[in-house]
Structure 1
Amino acid sequence: MRSDPFKGDVIRLKPPLQRLYRKRIGNDRVLFSIRGEDVYLELMGDRSYVYELAKRLERNIG
């Protein structure tokens, strides 16, 4: 991911998670953000719960 975080099945998420990108790996999802040249892993887990968890965390942070 360091050399090319957009390689593979990667999309930018819609509001309220627009600062995050999603990379699909089977049934798992990696949610990450990019700040400058750095890639930050935000969440990783099964697709059945990772988006809802991300939304809850985003509400608590924002």
Structure 2
Amino acid sequence: MPIKKLKNGSYKVDISVGVDPVTGRRRRKIRMAKTKKEAEELYIALKHKYNSGLHLSFN
């Protein structure tokens, strides 16, 4: 799972959302959470959003 605990006690969620068709590089979304449960919920929400095509852009 792409959730990593940082030294300050917060959690970083790093998720791959596909490949840029122009450059061929991996597109990533990185978000921060205060608790592990928040991080897991954020991971699930982001994964669902990008797998179901609900996103409008990769910004």
TM-score (norm 2): 0.46
Larger Rg: 2
Q: By percentage of residues, which structure has more helix?
A: 2
RCO (CA 8 Å, sep 6+): is it higher in 1 or 2? 2
> Hey, which of these two has a bigger chunk of strand by percent?
1
